[in-house]
Amino acid sequence: MSTTIEQPYIYRRRELVEPDWTRFPGWRDVSTTQWEDAQWQRVNCVKNIAQLRAVMGDLLEDRFYADLERDQNERATMSMLIPPQMVNTIVPATEGPMPSAGAAFTDAFYADPVRLYMLPVFSDRRTDWPSHPFATRDSLHEHDMWAVEGLTHRYPTKVLAEMLPTCPQYCGHCTRMDLVGNSTPQFTKLKLAGKPVDRYAAMLDYLQRTPGVRDVVVSGGDVANMPWKNLEGFLDKLLEVETIRDIRLATKALMGLPQHWLQGDVVEGVARISAKARERGVSVAIHTHVNNVQSVTPLVAKAATAMLDAGLRNVRNQGVLMRGVNDTPEQLLDLCFALQDEAMITPYYFYMCDMIPFSEHWRLSLKEAQELQHAIMGYLPGFATPRIVCDVPFVGKRWVHQVESYDTERGMSYWRKHYRTSIEAGDEQALSREYVYHDPIYTLSRAGQDWWRDHTDIHAVHEAALVGAGASRAASAADLA
Ligand code: SF4
Mean pLDDT across 310-316: 98
Q: Whose CA is nearest to atom 8 of ligand 1?
A: 174
Strongest mean pLDDT among 153-157, 253-257, 447-451: 253-257
Q: Give pLDDT tens digits for 354-408.
A: 999 999 999 999 999 999 999 999 999 999 999 999 999 889 999 999 999 999 9
Rounded CA gap, 438 and 367, in Å? 11
Rounded CA gap, 158 and 328, in Å? 32
Q: How far is the CA of 78 from the centre of ligand 1 (A)?
A: 9
Is pLDDT above 50 for 468?
Answer: no
Q: 350 - beta bridge partners?
A: 319, 388
Residue/partner pairs of 230-234 with CB below 8 Å, 24 or more apart: 230/196, 231/163, 231/269, 232/269, 232/272, 232/273, 234/163, 234/200, 234/204
pLDDT band at residue 300 under the 50/70/90 scheme: very high
Q: How far is the CA of 20 from the centre of ligand 1 (A)?
A: 26
pLDDT of residue 5: 86
Q: Give pLDDT tens digits for 46-94.
A: 999 999 999 999 999 999 999 999 999 999 999 999 999 999 999 999 9
Say yes or no: CB of residue 174 within 6 Å of ligand 1: yes
Q: How far is the CA of 174 from the centre of ligand 1 (A)?
A: 5
Is pLDDT above 50 for 97?
Answer: yes
Q: Whose CA is nearest to atom 1 of ligand 1?
A: 252
Beta strand residue intervals within 173-313, DSSP E: 215-219, 246-250, 283-288
Ramachandran angles phi, psi of 436, nearest 5°? -105, 140
The atom number, within ligand 1, closest to the CA of 252 reads: 1
Q: Whose CA is nearest to atom 5 of ligand 1?
A: 170
Q: How far is the CA of 198 from the centre of ligand 1 (A)?
A: 24
> For 57-71, 310-324, 339-353, 421-435, which range has the lowest pLDDT when averaged over its residues?
421-435
pLDDT band at residue 479 under the 50/70/90 scheme: very low
The atom number, within ligand 1, closest to the CA of 320 reads: 7
Mean pLDDT across 412-423: 87
The atom number, within ligand 1, closest to the CA of 176 reads: 8
Q: How far is the CA of 138 from the centre of ligand 1 (A)?
A: 14
Q: Which of 171, 356, 391 to mutate to test the pocket of ligand 1 (most atoms within 8 A of CB)?
A: 171
pLDDT of residue 456: 61
Q: Give pLDDT tens digits for 133-148.
A: 888 888 878 888 899 9
- DSSP class of 144: G
Say yes or no: CB of residue 105 within 6 Å of ligand 1: no
Rounded CA gap, 340 and 381, in Å? 10
Mean pLDDT across 170-191: 92
**Strand ranges of the sheet holding 151-152, from the earlier edge strand across to the other edge:** 146-148, 151-152, 158-162, 215-219, 246-250, 283-288, 314-321, 346-352, 387-392, 396-399
Q: 352 - beta bridge partners?
A: 321
Closest CA to 205 of 262, 150, 256, 249: 150
Say yes or no: CB of residue 351 within 6 Å of ligand 1: no
Q: How far is the CA of 395 from the centre of ligand 1 (A)?
A: 21
Q: Whose CA is nearest to atom 3 of ligand 1?
A: 221
Task: Write out the H or E segment, with its range, that includes residue 234.
Answer: helix 228-239
Closest CA to 136 of 124, 144, 146, 125: 144
| Exposed / middle / buried, residue 70 (Cβ in 10 Å: 0-12, 13-18, 19+) | middle
Q: What does the CA dihedral 87, 88, 94, 97 come to, rounded to 10 degrees? A: 80
Beta strand residue intervals within 116-210, DSSP E: 146-148, 151-152, 158-162
Q: How many helices (H) and strands (E) does the chain have?
A: 18, 13
Task: Write out the H or E segment, with its range, that includes residue 86.
Answer: helix 84-87
Q: Give yes or no for a contact between 302 and 261, defined as CB atoms under 8 angstroms apart.
A: no
Ramachandran angles phi, psi of 437, nearest 5°? -125, 145
Q: How far is the CA of 409 from the centre of ligand 1 (A)?
A: 32
Is pLDDT above 70 for 477?
Answer: no
Say yes or no: CB of residue 335 within 6 Å of ligand 1: no
Mean pLDDT across 239-265: 98
| Distances from the Cα of 37 to the Cα of 33, 261, 305, angstroms | 6, 11, 18
Mean pLDDT across 305-333: 98
Rounded CA gap, 77 and 221, in Å? 15
Domains along the chain with CATH numbers = 21-124 (no CATH), 143-401 (3.20.20.70)
Q: How far is the CA of 117 from the centre of ligand 1 (A)?
A: 11
Say yes or no: CB of residue 256 within 6 Å of ligand 1: no
